[in-house]
Amino acid sequence: MASVASLLEDAHKSGDRWATYALGTWYFHGRFFDKDEKKGFLLMLHAAEGFIPDACFDVAVSYETGKGIRKNLRKAGIYYFRGMMLGEKQSIAEVGRLFYWGIGLPKNRDIAKELLNFRETEN
């Protein structure tokens, strides 16, 4: 009987970006595989490039914290923004936070206020 990991590997190889994202998180966090943040990040990045909302958020967090990849606040902003545009709810608050403080995006408290107010109405 095939393991879940081998099924995910097969799905990933067939182009399933959700499977790619799942594998990425497993490698990144060391669940079911030996922990490999770099490999996990690259798999999540591949999924984010395929417009998987959750992958966009996780890639943004990695770029912001420097976990699995060199820290890059501009790229963090890009992937939080992409996640927000794809409907990933936490990304709305993160983009608002970045605009509020001018982290990786130009400081704009008016936009930040709108995003953070919108995020509050979503809960």
Q: What is the pLDDT of residues 25-52, one digit of tens each?
A: 999 999 889 999 999 999 999 999 999 9
Q: Is residue 55 part of a domain?
A: yes
Q: Is residue 41 part of a domain?
A: yes
Averaged confidence pLDDT in the chain:
94
Supply the DSSP string of 18-87, one letter for each residue.
HHHHHHHHHHHHTSSS---HHHHHHHHHHHHHTT-HHHHHHHHHHHHHTSSS---HHHHHHHHHHHHHTT
Question: What is the spatial distance between Cα 54 and Cα 59, in angstroms, rounded to a whole number?
Answer: 9
Q: Is residue 11 part of a domain?
A: yes
Q: Is residue 72 part of a domain?
A: yes
Domain that residue 8 falls in: 4-87
Q: At what angle do helices 53-65 and 73-85 cross, to 10 degrees?
A: 160
SS3 (DSSP) at 111 = helix
Please report the pLDDT score of residue 118 as a whole number.
80
User: Quick check: 46 and 54 in contact, CB under 8 A?
Assistant: no
Looking at the whole model, is its pTM more than 0.85?
A: yes
Domains: count for the chain: 1
Q: Is 106 exposed, middle or buried (0-12, 13-18, 19+ CB in 10 A)?
A: exposed
Q: In terms of C-beta distances under 8 Å and separation of at least 24 residues, what long-range contacts does 41-44 make, across chains too?
A: 41/67, 41/68, 41/69, 43/12, 44/20
Q: In the chain, what percentage of residues exceed pLDDT 90?
A: 85
Over residues 70-95, the pLDDT tens digits come to 999 999 999 999 999 999 999 999 99
Q: Is residue 104 part of a domain?
A: no
Mean pLDDT of 12-32: 96
Q: Is residue 24 part of a domain?
A: yes
Q: Is residue 110 part of a domain?
A: no
Is the pLDDT confidence value at 122 over 70? no
pLDDT band, residue 1 (cuts 50/70/90): very low
Is the pLDDT confidence value at 119 over 70? no
122 is written with which tokens? 């979503």
Q: Is residue 96 part of a domain?
A: no
Please report the pLDDT score of residue 111 as a whole number.
95
Domain CATH for 82:
1.25.40.10
